[in-house]
Structure 1
Protein backbone atom coordinates (compact mmCIF):
# COMPACT_ATOMS: atom_id res chain seq x y z
CA UNK A 1 0.00 0.00 0.00
CA UNK A 2 1.30 3.44 -0.91
CA UNK A 3 2.02 5.96 1.84
CA UNK A 4 -0.52 8.33 0.30
CA UNK A 5 -3.24 5.66 0.49
CA UNK A 6 -2.37 5.07 4.15
CA UNK A 7 -2.62 8.81 4.83
CA UNK A 8 -6.00 8.97 3.09
CA UNK A 9 -7.26 6.00 5.11
CA UNK A 10 -5.95 7.36 8.40
CA UNK A 11 -7.61 10.74 7.91
CA UNK A 12 -10.84 8.92 7.05
CA UNK A 13 -10.38 6.92 10.27
CA UNK A 14 -9.99 10.17 12.22
CA UNK A 15 -13.30 11.44 10.80
CA UNK A 16 -15.03 8.13 11.59
CA UNK A 17 -13.64 8.18 15.13
CA UNK A 18 -14.92 11.70 15.66
CA UNK A 19 -18.36 10.75 14.35
CA UNK A 20 -18.57 7.83 16.82
CA UNK A 21 -17.52 9.98 19.77
CA UNK A 22 -19.30 13.26 19.04
CA UNK A 23 -22.60 12.49 17.29
CA UNK A 24 -24.62 11.95 20.46
CA UNK A 25 -23.00 14.62 22.64
CA UNK A 26 -25.18 17.39 24.02
CA UNK A 27 -24.14 20.99 24.63
CA UNK A 28 -23.01 20.25 28.20
CA UNK A 29 -20.69 17.47 27.06
CA UNK A 30 -19.26 19.61 24.25
CA UNK A 31 -18.61 22.53 26.61
CA UNK A 32 -17.33 20.66 29.68
CA UNK A 33 -13.75 21.47 30.72
CA UNK A 34 -11.55 19.35 32.95
CA UNK A 35 -10.12 22.61 34.30
CA UNK A 36 -10.91 26.27 33.79
CA UNK A 37 -8.18 26.81 31.14
CA UNK A 38 -8.33 23.49 29.28
CA UNK A 39 -9.90 22.98 25.89
CA UNK A 40 -13.29 21.33 25.72
CA UNK A 41 -14.42 18.74 23.18
CA UNK A 42 -16.05 21.34 20.91
CA UNK A 43 -12.80 23.30 20.65
CA UNK A 44 -10.74 20.15 20.14
CA UNK A 45 -12.94 18.87 17.30
CA UNK A 46 -12.99 22.30 15.64
CA UNK A 47 -9.18 22.46 15.98
CA UNK A 48 -8.78 19.07 14.28
CA UNK A 49 -11.13 20.00 11.45
CA UNK A 50 -9.39 23.35 10.95
CA UNK A 51 -5.97 21.70 10.67
CA UNK A 52 -7.33 19.22 8.11
CA UNK A 53 -8.91 22.12 6.21
CA UNK A 54 -5.67 24.15 6.31
CA UNK A 55 -3.58 21.12 5.31
CA UNK A 56 -5.78 20.45 2.28
CA UNK A 57 -5.38 24.06 1.20
CA UNK A 58 -1.60 24.04 1.73
CA UNK A 59 -1.20 20.80 -0.24
CA UNK A 60 -3.25 22.35 -3.03
CA UNK A 61 -1.13 25.49 -3.04
CA UNK A 62 -4.17 27.76 -2.79
CA UNK A 63 -5.18 30.76 -0.67
CA UNK A 64 -6.92 30.61 2.72
CA UNK A 65 -10.13 31.78 1.06
CA UNK A 66 -10.37 28.33 -0.58
CA UNK A 67 -10.65 26.55 2.78
CA UNK A 68 -14.00 24.86 3.40
CA UNK A 69 -14.56 27.12 6.41
CA UNK A 70 -15.01 29.92 3.87
CA UNK A 71 -16.30 28.18 0.74
CA UNK A 72 -19.00 26.28 2.65
CA UNK A 73 -20.20 29.47 4.34
CA UNK A 74 -19.16 28.69 7.93
CA UNK A 75 -17.35 32.02 8.28
CA UNK A 76 -20.41 33.91 7.01
CA UNK A 77 -22.92 31.97 9.13
CA UNK A 78 -20.89 32.22 12.33
CA UNK A 79 -19.33 35.63 11.75
CA UNK A 80 -15.97 34.06 12.62
CA UNK A 81 -12.89 34.56 10.43
CA UNK A 82 -9.87 32.75 11.94
CA UNK A 83 -7.35 34.03 9.38
CA UNK A 84 -4.43 35.82 10.99
CA UNK A 85 -4.89 34.14 14.38
CA UNK A 86 -2.54 31.73 16.14
CA UNK A 87 0.64 30.17 14.86
CA UNK A 88 1.63 31.56 11.45
CA UNK A 89 -1.80 33.20 11.22
CA UNK A 90 -3.33 29.88 10.14
CA UNK A 91 -6.36 30.16 12.43
CA UNK A 92 -6.28 26.52 13.53
CA UNK A 93 -6.29 27.08 17.34
CA UNK A 94 -2.56 26.34 17.77
CA UNK A 95 -0.97 29.42 19.31
CA UNK A 96 -4.28 31.03 20.28
CA UNK A 97 -4.62 32.92 23.54
CA UNK A 98 -7.32 31.53 25.83
CA UNK A 99 -9.48 34.53 24.97
CA UNK A 100 -9.13 33.66 21.27
CA UNK A 101 -10.07 30.06 22.05
CA UNK A 102 -13.24 31.28 23.77
CA UNK A 103 -14.20 33.21 20.62
CA UNK A 104 -14.41 30.04 18.49
CA UNK A 105 -18.03 29.55 17.35
CA UNK A 106 -20.09 27.22 19.49
CA UNK A 107 -21.10 24.72 16.83
CA UNK A 108 -23.44 21.86 17.69
CA UNK A 109 -22.26 18.25 17.46
CA UNK A 110 -24.05 17.95 14.12
CA UNK A 111 -22.41 21.11 12.78
CA UNK A 112 -18.96 20.04 13.99
CA UNK A 113 -19.33 16.71 12.22
CA UNK A 114 -20.56 18.42 9.05
CA UNK A 115 -17.37 20.47 9.05
CA UNK A 116 -15.22 17.40 9.82
CA UNK A 117 -16.80 15.45 6.96
CA UNK A 118 -16.49 18.38 4.55
CA UNK A 119 -12.73 18.61 5.11
CA UNK A 120 -11.79 14.94 5.53
CA UNK A 121 -13.11 13.65 2.22
CA UNK A 122 -11.28 16.24 0.06
CA UNK A 123 -8.01 15.57 1.90
CA UNK A 124 -8.35 11.82 1.34
CA UNK A 125 -9.12 12.45 -2.34
CA UNK A 126 -6.09 14.73 -2.65
CA UNK A 127 -3.79 12.04 -1.21
CA UNK A 128 -5.23 9.36 -3.48
CA UNK A 129 -4.77 11.56 -6.56
CA UNK A 130 -1.07 12.21 -5.95
CA UNK A 131 1.38 10.54 -8.33
CA UNK A 132 3.88 8.13 -6.80
CA UNK A 133 6.77 10.59 -6.81
CA UNK A 134 8.55 13.17 -4.65
CA UNK A 135 5.44 15.37 -4.49
CA UNK A 136 3.62 12.53 -2.73
CA UNK A 137 6.51 12.01 -0.32
CA UNK A 138 6.54 15.74 0.45
CA UNK A 139 2.77 15.75 1.08
CA UNK A 140 3.10 12.78 3.44
CA UNK A 141 5.89 14.54 5.36
CA UNK A 142 3.78 17.71 5.68
CA UNK A 143 0.75 15.78 6.87
CA UNK A 144 2.47 13.48 9.37
CA UNK A 145 2.55 15.92 12.29
CA UNK A 146 -1.08 16.91 11.77
CA UNK A 147 -2.12 13.26 11.58
CA UNK A 148 -0.22 12.46 14.79
CA UNK A 149 -1.89 15.41 16.48
CA UNK A 150 -5.31 14.20 15.35
CA UNK A 151 -4.73 10.73 16.79
CA UNK A 152 -3.58 12.33 20.06
CA UNK A 153 -6.69 14.53 20.14
CA UNK A 154 -8.92 11.45 19.73
CA UNK A 155 -7.31 10.18 22.93
CA UNK A 156 -7.80 13.59 24.54
CA UNK A 157 -11.52 13.47 23.71
CA UNK A 158 -11.77 9.96 25.20
CA UNK A 159 -10.03 11.20 28.34
CA UNK A 160 -12.31 14.24 28.65
CA UNK A 161 -15.41 12.05 28.30
CA UNK A 162 -14.10 9.61 30.95
CA UNK A 163 -13.10 12.36 33.39
CA UNK A 164 -16.48 14.07 32.94
CA UNK A 165 -18.32 10.80 33.62
CA UNK A 166 -16.25 10.06 36.74
CA UNK A 167 -16.74 13.61 38.00
CA UNK A 168 -20.50 13.25 37.58
CA UNK A 169 -20.46 9.90 39.40
CA UNK A 170 -18.53 11.38 42.33
CA UNK A 171 -20.86 14.37 42.48
CA UNK A 172 -23.94 12.14 42.65
CA UNK A 173 -22.46 9.75 45.25
Structure 2
Protein backbone atom coordinates (compact mmCIF):
# COMPACT_ATOMS: atom_id res chain seq x y z
CA UNK A 1 0.00 0.00 0.00
CA UNK A 2 1.43 3.38 -0.93
CA UNK A 3 0.89 6.72 0.84
CA UNK A 4 -1.96 7.76 -1.44
CA UNK A 5 -3.83 4.50 -0.86
CA UNK A 6 -3.31 4.79 2.89
CA UNK A 7 -4.69 8.36 2.92
CA UNK A 8 -7.66 7.38 0.73
CA UNK A 9 -8.47 4.48 3.07
CA UNK A 10 -8.12 6.67 6.16
CA UNK A 11 -10.17 9.64 4.93
CA UNK A 12 -12.64 7.17 3.39
CA UNK A 13 -13.73 6.14 6.87
CA UNK A 14 -15.09 9.58 7.78
CA UNK A 15 -18.38 9.50 5.80
CA UNK A 16 -19.36 6.17 7.34
CA UNK A 17 -18.63 7.45 10.84
CA UNK A 18 -20.72 10.57 10.19
CA UNK A 19 -23.58 8.49 8.73
CA UNK A 20 -23.51 6.21 11.77
CA UNK A 21 -23.69 9.15 14.18
CA UNK A 22 -26.50 10.93 12.35
CA UNK A 23 -28.60 7.82 11.77
CA UNK A 24 -31.91 7.97 13.60
CA UNK A 25 -31.44 11.41 15.19
CA UNK A 26 -33.99 14.18 14.86
CA UNK A 27 -33.13 17.88 14.89
CA UNK A 28 -33.77 18.22 18.62
CA UNK A 29 -31.34 15.40 19.35
CA UNK A 30 -28.79 16.93 16.97
CA UNK A 31 -28.99 20.23 18.89
CA UNK A 32 -28.80 18.72 22.38
CA UNK A 33 -25.69 19.84 24.27
CA UNK A 34 -24.41 17.31 26.82
CA UNK A 35 -24.55 18.81 30.33
CA UNK A 36 -25.97 21.94 28.68
CA UNK A 37 -22.43 23.09 27.79
CA UNK A 38 -20.89 20.45 25.55
CA UNK A 39 -20.84 20.74 21.80
CA UNK A 40 -23.95 19.46 20.07
CA UNK A 41 -23.77 16.66 17.53
CA UNK A 42 -24.85 19.14 14.85
CA UNK A 43 -21.99 21.47 15.75
CA UNK A 44 -19.43 18.64 15.91
CA UNK A 45 -20.40 17.22 12.50
CA UNK A 46 -20.59 20.70 10.93
CA UNK A 47 -17.17 21.57 12.39
CA UNK A 48 -15.69 18.26 11.22
CA UNK A 49 -16.84 19.05 7.68
CA UNK A 50 -15.64 22.65 7.85
CA UNK A 51 -12.19 21.61 9.13
CA UNK A 52 -11.69 19.05 6.36
CA UNK A 53 -13.12 21.38 3.72
CA UNK A 54 -11.18 24.52 4.66
CA UNK A 55 -7.84 22.84 5.26
CA UNK A 56 -7.83 20.47 2.27
CA UNK A 57 -8.97 23.29 -0.02
CA UNK A 58 -6.30 25.65 1.30
CA UNK A 59 -3.50 23.10 1.01
CA UNK A 60 -4.65 22.23 -2.53
CA UNK A 61 -5.39 25.80 -3.67
CA UNK A 62 -9.05 24.97 -4.32
CA UNK A 63 -12.27 26.75 -3.43
CA UNK A 64 -14.02 25.30 -0.41
CA UNK A 65 -17.06 23.12 -1.07
CA UNK A 66 -18.80 25.33 1.53
CA UNK A 67 -18.93 28.16 -1.02
CA UNK A 68 -18.43 26.42 -4.38
CA UNK A 69 -21.46 24.16 -3.89
CA UNK A 70 -23.60 26.72 -2.06
CA UNK A 71 -23.63 25.11 1.37
CA UNK A 72 -22.96 28.45 3.07
CA UNK A 73 -26.38 29.70 1.90
CA UNK A 74 -28.12 26.35 2.36
CA UNK A 75 -27.08 26.23 6.02
CA UNK A 76 -27.88 29.93 6.45
CA UNK A 77 -25.91 30.21 9.67
CA UNK A 78 -25.41 33.62 11.32
CA UNK A 79 -21.64 33.22 11.05
CA UNK A 80 -18.97 34.66 8.78
CA UNK A 81 -18.65 32.82 5.47
CA UNK A 82 -15.18 31.49 6.34
CA UNK A 83 -16.05 30.43 9.90
CA UNK A 84 -15.01 26.86 10.68
CA UNK A 85 -15.93 26.80 14.36
CA UNK A 86 -12.48 27.30 15.88
CA UNK A 87 -12.78 29.29 19.10
CA UNK A 88 -16.58 29.32 19.10
CA UNK A 89 -18.32 30.64 22.18
CA UNK A 90 -21.21 28.75 23.70
CA UNK A 91 -23.70 31.07 21.99
CA UNK A 92 -22.02 30.47 18.62
CA UNK A 93 -22.26 26.71 19.13
CA UNK A 94 -26.00 27.18 19.64
CA UNK A 95 -26.34 28.92 16.26
CA UNK A 96 -25.23 25.85 14.32
CA UNK A 97 -28.54 24.22 13.53
CA UNK A 98 -29.09 21.84 10.63
CA UNK A 99 -30.86 18.66 9.69
CA UNK A 100 -29.00 15.39 9.65
CA UNK A 101 -29.62 15.18 5.91
CA UNK A 102 -27.95 18.53 5.24
CA UNK A 103 -25.02 17.75 7.54
CA UNK A 104 -24.46 14.42 5.80
CA UNK A 105 -24.80 15.94 2.35
CA UNK A 106 -22.15 18.54 3.18
CA UNK A 107 -19.74 16.00 4.68
CA UNK A 108 -20.14 13.72 1.66
CA UNK A 109 -19.51 16.62 -0.76
CA UNK A 110 -16.38 17.55 1.18
CA UNK A 111 -15.27 13.93 1.06
CA UNK A 112 -15.69 13.85 -2.73
CA UNK A 113 -13.37 16.85 -3.08
CA UNK A 114 -10.85 15.37 -0.62
CA UNK A 115 -10.89 12.09 -2.56
CA UNK A 116 -10.14 13.89 -5.84
CA UNK A 117 -7.23 15.69 -4.18
CA UNK A 118 -5.86 12.47 -2.70
CA UNK A 119 -6.26 10.52 -5.94
CA UNK A 120 -4.11 13.10 -7.71
CA UNK A 121 -1.22 12.87 -5.25
CA UNK A 122 2.16 11.50 -6.06
CA UNK A 123 4.80 10.66 -3.45
CA UNK A 124 6.78 13.92 -3.71
CA UNK A 125 3.58 15.97 -3.30
CA UNK A 126 3.44 15.02 0.37
CA UNK A 127 6.75 16.84 0.98
CA UNK A 128 5.46 20.14 -0.47
CA UNK A 129 5.41 22.88 2.16
CA UNK A 130 1.88 24.24 2.65
CA UNK A 131 2.38 26.42 5.74
CA UNK A 132 5.56 28.33 6.54
CA UNK A 133 4.19 29.85 9.77
CA UNK A 134 5.51 26.90 11.78
CA UNK A 135 9.02 25.75 12.60
CA UNK A 136 9.58 23.43 10.92
CA UNK A 137 7.28 24.42 8.04
CA UNK A 138 4.26 22.13 7.58
CA UNK A 139 4.24 19.78 4.60
CA UNK A 140 1.14 18.54 2.82
CA UNK A 141 1.66 15.07 4.32
CA UNK A 142 1.80 16.43 7.86
CA UNK A 143 -1.22 18.67 7.23
CA UNK A 144 -3.29 15.76 5.90
CA UNK A 145 -2.46 13.65 8.96
CA UNK A 146 -3.40 16.61 11.19
CA UNK A 147 -6.73 17.10 9.39
CA UNK A 148 -7.54 13.42 9.64
CA UNK A 149 -6.71 13.31 13.36
CA UNK A 150 -8.90 16.33 14.06
CA UNK A 151 -11.82 14.94 12.05
CA UNK A 152 -11.60 11.53 13.71
CA UNK A 153 -11.62 13.17 17.14
CA UNK A 154 -14.77 15.11 16.29
CA UNK A 155 -16.46 12.02 14.86
CA UNK A 156 -15.65 10.20 18.11
CA UNK A 157 -16.97 13.10 20.20
CA UNK A 158 -20.21 13.09 18.20
CA UNK A 159 -20.56 9.32 18.65
CA UNK A 160 -19.99 9.73 22.38
CA UNK A 161 -22.63 12.47 22.56
CA UNK A 162 -25.07 10.20 20.71
CA UNK A 163 -24.29 7.42 23.19
CA UNK A 164 -25.04 9.78 26.08
CA UNK A 165 -28.38 10.58 24.52
CA UNK A 166 -29.15 6.91 23.93
CA UNK A 167 -28.19 6.02 27.51
CA UNK A 168 -30.37 8.82 28.85
CA UNK A 169 -33.28 7.51 26.83
CA UNK A 170 -32.87 4.08 28.38
CA UNK A 171 -31.58 2.51 25.15
CA UNK A 172 -28.21 1.59 26.60
CA UNK A 173 -24.93 2.13 24.84
CA UNK A 174 -22.17 0.00 23.44
TM-score (norm 2): 0.82
Q: Which runs of 5+ in 1 are unaligned?
A: 85-89
Q: Which has the higher helix share?
A: 1
How far does residue 46 in structure 1 lie from its aligned partner after superposition? 0.3
Quick one: which of 77, 82, 85 aligns to 1:93?
A: 85
Corresponding residue number in structure 2 for 1:136: 126
Contact kept? 1:30, 1:109, Cα under 8 Å? yes
> Per the alignment, do residues 82 and 142 of structure 1 end up closer, same or farther by CA in structure 2, a change over 3 Å counting?
farther
Corresponding residue number in structure 1 for 2:105: 114
How far does residue 102 in structure 1 lie from its aligned partner after superposition? 2.0
Which secondary structure does the structure 2 equivalent of 1:35 belong to? helix
Contact kept? 1:127, 1:136, Cα under 8 Å? no
Corresponding residue number in structure 2 for 1:75: 72
Q: Which runs of 5+ in 2 are unaligned?
A: 128-138
Contact kept? 2:65, 2:110, Cα under 8 Å? yes
How far does residue 81 in structure 1 lie from its aligned partner after superposition? 6.9
Corresponding residue number in structure 2 for 1:168: 169
How many corresponding residue pairs? Answer: 160
Contact kept? 2:126, 2:140, Cα under 8 Å? yes
Contact kept? 1:9, 1:124, Cα under 8 Å? no
- Spell out structure 1 runs of 4+ moving beyond 4 A: 81-84
Q: Counterparts in 2 of 1:13-28, with a 5 A limit? A: 13-28=13-28
Contact kept? 2:17, 2:155, Cα under 8 Å? yes
For the pair 1:10 / 2:2, whether they are aligned, the reply is no
Corresponding residue number in structure 2 for 1:49: 49
TM-score (norm 1): 0.82
> Per the alignment, do residues 136 and 10 of structure 1 end up closer, same or farther by CA in structure 2, a change over 3 Å counting?
same
Contact kept? 2:8, 2:119, Cα under 8 Å? yes
Corresponding residue number in structure 2 for 1:87: none
Contact kept? 1:23, 1:113, Cα under 8 Å? no
